[in-house]
Structure 1
Amino acid sequence: MQKTTHTPAAPAEAWTGWCDWHEGPSGTAVLISVIEQCSGPGITRYACAPCREQRRLVPYTQQP
């Protein structure tokens, strides 16, 4: 039997998001704002739970 050293890819749910406030990976990042631009793609900003709490950021889906 042949041994393999290839490790299987991580499942999709293991991917972590990115927090734009502390500029690092996060498993709790949610969309905070969408900045539309006249030309080109817009910009989205995400924040993790600690950054949202510290800066009183409201998730985009809960904003008026």
Structure 2
Amino acid sequence: MAEPTHTPPAEEDTRSAFGWCHWHQGHADGIRLIDVIEQGSGSGITHFACGPCIVANGLVPFADR
């Protein structure tokens, strides 16, 4: 039987983003992109949320849709 050549990294080894959570209005570790609002002119708007806010507000991260 062939042995696997790649093992997934341990959860503590994976990188997580640090940034502004738009739901609790503070900095947090492990934020995820929730919504992207494109505008015809100028830059668009992005909303990010941390893990606890995602769970508490029933949010679905953009990448998981």
The two structures share one fold, judged by TM-score above 0.5: yes
AA partner of residue 16 (structure 1): F
State which structure, 1 or 2, has the greater radius of gyration over its C-alpha atoms: 1
The alpha-carbon deviation at position 44 of structure 1 amounts to 0.4
AA partner of residue 41 (structure 2): S
CA deviation map 1:15-64 (0-9, x unaligned): 7211011110010111000001111000000000010000000110011x
Aligned residues: 50
Question: What TM-score, normalized by structure 1, do the two folds share?
Answer: 0.72
Q: How large is the RMSD of aligned CA atoms in angstroms? A: 1.5
Question: Is there any run of 5+ residues in structure 1 with no aligned partner, and where?
Answer: 1-12
1:58 alignment partner in structure 2? 60
Question: What TM-score, normalized by structure 2, do the two folds share?
Answer: 0.71
Question: Is there any run of 5+ residues in structure 2 with no aligned partner, and where?
Answer: 1-14
